[in-house]
Structure 1
Amino acid sequence: MTPAELIGKWVKAFNAGDAGALARLYSSDAVNHQVTQEPVTGREAIREMFEREFSTANMVCIVDQLHDAGDVVVLEWQDPNGLRGCGIFTVVGGETTFQRGYWDKLSFLKLQGLPIP
């Protein structure tokens, strides 16, 4: 499976709200760093992060662009509410080893009708 194909599976699992399937796409020591939050390290911690997020908000990833640069794939996305963002994935040996996500947390909270801290 190519890195771009792996990200296609990631989008499908994300849109299904399947934290377990998402976690299986990460290496055991992967880091997921959404810049609005502290980095999360390890497959189990990443699964727990997705479970918390899916229980809090209805999230959907609509792919705008997928830029494949070998072991690095950039996913430009939007959601049905108009939020836009970007995920950068490093994929080694068929697993995501590092992910960084860029999106605006204040806009996300407002669009989801969630409390603003």
Structure 2
Amino acid sequence: MKPRDLIKEWVKTFNAASADAMAEFYHDDAINHQVNQDPTIGKKAIRQKFEEEFATADMVCIIENIFEDNEWAILEWKDPLGLRGCGFFHIVEGKIKFQRGYWDMLSFLRQHNLPIPQK
């Protein structure tokens, strides 16, 4: 499966909010680094992170663009509340080896009426 097609399936699965199904997109030693958080390392930890996030907020990913370059896919996305972001995915042998995401956590927390961490 081409990286572009894998990311389209990833988005469908994300929108179904299944942590178990999401984990299957990742290598056992994958890294998911959302830049406003510490990296999540390993398929089990990534699955747990998705489970926590799906329990915290109803999230919807709407594809704006997907770009592909060899083993890489770049996803530009938005959600129905107006948040926008971008994700970079390194796809190796049909699974995500590395993911990096850029989005505004403060806007996300406010949109979902979640507590804002105090420093």
* TM-score (normalised: structure 1): 0.98
User: Structure 1 residue 2: deviation in Å?
Assistant: 1.0
Q: Does residue 44 of structure 2 align to residue 49 of structure 1? A: no
Q: CA RMSD in A?
A: 0.5
Structure 2 stretches of 5 or more lacking a match?
Answer: none
SS at match of 2:60: coil
Q: Gapped runs of 5+ residues in structure 1? A: none
Task: Output the CA distance in 1 between the equivalents of 2:8 and 2:19.
Answer: 15
Q: What residue number does 2:64 align with?
A: 64
SS of alignment partner, residue 82 of structure 1 = coil
Give the CA deviation at 1:70.
1.4
Segments ≥4 residues shifted beyond 4 Å: none
Deviations 1:15-37 (A, max 9, x none): 00011111000000000000010
The TM-score normalised by the length of structure 2 is: 0.97
Q: What is the alpha-carbon distance in structure 1 between the residues aligned to residue 35 and residue 97 of structure 2?
A: 16
SS at match of 1:22: helix
Q: Distance in 2 between matches of 1:41 and 1:7?
A: 19
Identity of aligned residues (%): 56
Distance in 2 (CA, whole Å) between partners of 1:14 and 1:105 is: 18
Count residues in correspondence. 117
Shift of 1:68: 0.8
